[in-house]
């Protein structure tokens, strides 16, 4: 059975698309997508031998070799230009996702949808999307096995509804009247903050606790550089605290 996390990602993949899952590990996501009939063609990319072998075995055992190509290679290098219209990248840090997306821009030609699930540093992924002509069209947050995950869906500007164009600006004013900085919108997520559900609140309460603990240790240090760090932390803590208070 597929995890809630991978199911959420699967739901974001457009029906009938040609999809590449980069860093596919056991190829669970492409296998599910093809077996459920949602897509008829998928590529599972893996850089490491162990996961690549596991993906190959999974696809062979399911007798899906005709519909899922399993390839070993770094990031988008496993793709032919124009081969897929959707790319999923899940279960790695945001900076790795960004470096995979940035490394071979020509491989993104013809790709219309990205479904990304960074484990950390979601803000780096949103920033990259924003800087590279992608509109966020949806965001999901979920909790599974005591971990919180975010799933970001983005569409290439030429294929997007223009109503997504001003999303980041429109999301800056919260219903409670507080005005967010552009950096805060990137870090909370424009859709997630508008919804501000229980999982979202829990994620940011934990983040606040963590920052408070870090501040405690930084304050004990006598280094000059710690002073600046403490000031930055204090501003961050105050910002998040205000937002949470306003959303509660
Ligand atoms: N995507 C699956 C998921 O979400 O359940 C697997 C996540 S697993 C934690 C991350 C996988 O990404 C590993 O199997 C790793 O080998 C692979 N990986 C890391 N860097 C990669 C890269 N540059 N290109 C392709 N795969 C990569």
pLDDT digits (tens, 9 = 90+) for 174-200: 888 899 999 999 999 999 999 999 999
Q: Is the CB of 48 under 6 A from ligand 1?
A: yes
Q: Identify the residue whose C-alpha is closest to ligand 1 atom 3.
A: 91
Q: Per-domain residue ranges for the chain?
A: 4-164, 168-248
Closest CA to 76 of 116, 33, 45: 45
ipTM confidence: 0.99
Cβ atoms of residues 27 and 68 within 8 Å = yes
What CATH number labels 4-164? 3.40.50.150
Q: What is the pLDDT of residues 83-129, one digit of tens each?
A: 999 999 999 999 999 999 999 999 999 999 999 999 999 999 999 99
Q: What is the model's pTM?
A: 0.95
Q: Measuring from atom 17 of ligand 1, which residue has the nearest CA? A: 23
Residue 241 CB–ligand 1 contact under 6 Å = no
In the chain, the percentage of residues whose pLDDT exceeds 70 is 97
Q: Which two tokens stand for residue 184?
A: 């805060």
Which residue is associated with the tokens 């390839």? 71
Residue in this structure with the two tokens 């496993």, named with its chain if needed = 78
Closest-CA residue, ligand 1 atom 27, reads 23
- Multiple choice CATH, 168-248, 3.30.1490.20, 1.10.10.10, 1.10.1050.10, 1.10.287.1890: 1.10.287.1890
Tokens of 62: 């399911």
- The answer to whether the CB of 204 falls within 8 A of the CB of 149 is no
């Amino acid at each position: 059975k597929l995890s809630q996390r991978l199911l959420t990602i699967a739901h974001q993949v457009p029906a009938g698309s040609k999809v590449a899952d980069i860093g596919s590990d056991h190829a669970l996501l492409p296998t599910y997508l093809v077996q459920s009939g949602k897509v008829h063609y998928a590529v599972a990319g893996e850089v490491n031998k162990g996961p690549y072998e596991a993906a190959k075995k999974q696809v062979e055992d399911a007798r899906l070799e005709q519909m899922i190509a399993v390839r070993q290679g770094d990031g988008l290098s496993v793709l032919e230009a124009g081969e897929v219209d959707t790319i999923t990248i899940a279960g790695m840090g945001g900076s790795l996702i960004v470096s995979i997306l940035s490394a071979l821009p020509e491989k993104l030609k013809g790709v219309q949808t990205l479904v990304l699930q960074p484990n950390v540093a979601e803000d780096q992924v949103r920033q990259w999307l924003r800087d590279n002509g992608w509109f966020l069209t949806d965001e999901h947050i979920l909790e599974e096995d005591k971990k919180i995950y975010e799933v970001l869906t983005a569409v290439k500007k030429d294929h997007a509804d223009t109503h997504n164009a001003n999303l980041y600006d429109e999301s800056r004013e919260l219903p409670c009247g507080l005005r967010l900085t552009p950096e805060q919108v990137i870090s909370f997520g424009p859709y997630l903050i508008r919804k501000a559900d229980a999982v979202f609140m829990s994620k940011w309460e934990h983040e606040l606790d963590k920052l408070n603990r870090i501040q405690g240790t930084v304050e004990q240090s006598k280094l000059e550089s710690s002073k600046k760090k403490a000031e930055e932390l204090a501003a961050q803590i105050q910002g998040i605290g205000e937002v949470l208070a306003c959303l509660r």
